[in-house]
Structure 1
Amino acid sequence: MDIDFDCTMCGKCCHNLRLPLTVPEAITWLRRGHQTQLFLEAIPWPEEPPEDNLIAAHKRRRSFPASSGSLPIRVVAVIVAAFDGPCPNLKEDMRCGVYGSRPLVCRIYPAEINPFIPLNPEQKACPPEAWTQATTPLLRQGNIVDAQIAALIAESRNTDAADVDAKAALCEALGIASVALSNEGFVVYTPDPSALLSALESAQAAITSVRPQSWQFVSNRSATVDALRSVDAVASERSAWETESAEFLGFFPDEVIGNSGSNA
């Protein structure tokens, strides 16, 4: 597949997002006074997949081990910049006010970070002319041709894996122990900003591994709850699970979370 792309400066990709951040980016975002959330999902992991299972290897490197009852799981925690309407850093002329230090996912857009998600212009916020009238090569035979973007994608993947221990420590520090089943939804936490910033700074500095926590699954489907309980996992239906600082969001289109699900 060959794809060309030229930014039209429409600003559509800078509105109504839950934008994935690295741990250092999240600290910077909070220090600027912006809102940050945590999106949690977990994958049942009863045994290690074969080494040639590349999708499983990708999920493993960006998740931390835990358990739900007697079921081994791996938890994926995504720290996101949360905003409705324009990004707080977007200027009236649609230029980025922090362009030189904008998050990695913004630098990479519209390319995908997840190696198993193909770039689909129809799933992006950009107008048709950004693709149809473009002259700058982005993909050639399915491969990124811009060396800088390719390097940023590699950096993002490596940072995502490197942040895993800090995210595990963050969850433990904040007492977070509820999670959604992968591909079904997310449990979304909105901690107090000052508490989150303090916990992030401490988690980033931690050098010791966090012991696996015991987690409960939350679902809006009774069949999912029954299936999880049948394998000795702890599971609750959304209607029976309430917390002031968290909510359950059922599955929604990937593009809601930043780069068309590129961090998934």
Structure 2
Amino acid sequence: MDTRFSCTACGKCCFGWVPLTIPEALAHAGRFPLAMVWSPLRATPGREPGAGVGLLVPVGPGRLLPVRVAPTAYIPPSFRCPELQSDGLCGIHHSKPIRCRTMPVAGWRAPDDQADLLTPRPGWECDIGESAPVVVQDGRIVDDTDWRAEHDALLADQPAIRAFAAMVMQAEPRMGQILAQTAAQAGGNVVMGFGPLLRQLAGTDVALVASRQRPVLEDFAARTAADPGLADYHARYTSWSADLARLSRT
């Protein structure tokens, strides 16, 4: 069965969390509040976890959980993207994250495991009618150019991501248990600050990145302070800003 899909540039998908590559996180540290998000993946027999860009994390005796770990623009779902203009267009189109370019297909899923992602979410105005181009045919992406670009970028991140994950697992013995509990919740994720990864990135001007990220975190902390429904976001932004103060030049 063919799947048709076309973006109508309504801007309604420009809300909430956006996974980034490590270079994108560093480049956009002055734009987006950054987090590290651990997302349990579907276990599919005969497939590498995350199309080869996922981790297999020990979560119990003889049990491994496939997990995707990614830097993320950590924005409350009720907030629009800071770079979304009043006309609904992207203000940084020339340098926008590869995730935004590749949507709705995902580089961390195999090319023949995409069809269910091509269903517009509530509020989206995507074209899935007869006038829209065929995106998936015979179970595979017709044009995998964007998928491959994202997949290759994620592969390039893997050495640093794996080293970071190993460090976290060693520092927090309960991490496997936490991830197992999270996997039992539909759509569950484990969220931590960007600072621990930043400290591990060899060749990176850590102080400069931290000094660019801190004002963003402080801004989002202020914007979430008065909303009880965003108390968790406010607490995280505040905590992460304090952590980066130890790395920042300012």
TM bucket normalised to smaller: 0.5 to 0.7
Aligned to 2:189: 186
Aligned to 1:4: 4
Aligned to 1:203: 200
Structure-2 separation of matches of 1:155 and 1:125: 30
Amino acid at match of 2:82: P
Match of 1:81 among 73, 78, 91: 73
Aligned to 1:54: 46
TM-score normalised according to structure 1 size: 0.57
Q: Counterpart of 1:180 in 2: which secondary structure?
A: helix
Aligned to 1:209: none
Match of 1:38 among 36, 41, 56: 36
State the structure with bigger RCO (CA 8 A, min sep 6), 1 or 2. 1
Q: Which ranges of structure 1 fall in alignment gaps of 5 or more residues?
A: 44-48, 207-243, 247-264
CA 1:27/1:166 → structure 2, altered by over 3 Å: closer, same or farther? farther
Structure 1 window deviating more from structure 2 (86-95 vs 151-160): it is 151-160
Alpha-carbon deviation of 1:169?
6.2
Work out whether 1:168 is the aligned partner of 2:165.
Answer: yes
Asked if the contact 2:40–2:179 (Cα under 8 Å) also holds between the matched residues in 1, the reply is yes
Match of 2:91 among 87, 97, 115: 97
Q: Counterpart of 1:205 in 2: which secondary structure?
A: coil
Alpha-carbon deviation of 1:6?
2.5
Q: Which has the higher strand share?
A: 1
Work out whether 1:20 is the aligned partner of 2:29.
Answer: no
Alpha-carbon deviation of 1:11?
0.3
Aligned residues between the structures = 193
CA 1:110/1:33 → structure 2, altered by over 3 Å: closer, same or farther? closer
Structure-2 separation of matches of 1:73 and 1:91: 43
Structure-1 separation of matches of 2:104 and 2:190: 26
Q: Any idea what the Cα deviations from partners look like across 1:175-213, whole Å, max 9, x if unmatched?
A: 796433224332322x3xxxx35x43432328xxxxxxx
Match of 1:118 among 115, 118, 125: 115
TM-score normalised according to structure 2 size: 0.60
Q: Which has the higher helix share?
A: 2
Asked if the contact 1:170–1:203 (Cα under 8 Å) also holds between the matched residues in 2, the reply is no
Q: Counterpart of 1:130 in 2: which secondary structure?
A: coil
Alpha-carbon deviation of 1:14?
0.5
Structure-2 separation of matches of 1:86 and 1:159: 29
Structure-2 separation of matches of 1:152 and 1:60: 14
CA 1:8/1:67 → structure 2, altered by over 3 Å: closer, same or farther? closer
Q: Any idea what the Cα deviations from partners look like across 1:71-123, whole Å, max 9, x if unmatched?
A: 76556433221223211111111111121222121111122331245334435
